[in-house]
Structure 1
């Protein structure tokens, strides 16, 4: 099954880098949205989740706030 993963990040966020590295190491394809460079995406993210912090990931329709590899893994389709 194909996973749908989108990572919302900024250029300077160490936890964003950790999340992307985790996904890369586990062979999980994802789309990255840099909210530091895309203000419209940042606004949509806050409107959708009510959270301003990053990283945020949408994994198969479920939101994960912060670097939470256990939660990400539990939402991935095997």
Structure 2
């Protein structure tokens, strides 16, 4: 079982692309909107040093931006 969290904002087109990619591949994930939860923005910056979204945490590894190849690579 993969543990996947996608960190997003409401206005980010690449966030939508990432969520669509996961949905089309029947990959379940949790979404955290960092606009609605600023503490989580601090969390991802502390983990990756990156401010942008989407950031996807997969089993403790991080994928920055919309990157289907890296997402597939980190899935069990």
- How much has 1:43 moved relative to structure 2? 1.0
For 1:45 and 1:37, how far apart are their aligned partners in 2?
A: 14
TM-score (norm 2): 0.97
TM-score (norm 1): 0.94
Runs of 4+ aligned residues of structure 1 deviating over 6 Å after TM superposition are none
- Name 2:33's counterpart in structure 1: 34
Gaps of at least 5 residues in structure 1 are none
Gaps of at least 5 residues in structure 2 are none
For the residue of structure 2 that corresponds to 1:67, the secondary structure is: coil
Aligned length: 76
CA-based RMSD of the aligned residues comes to 0.6
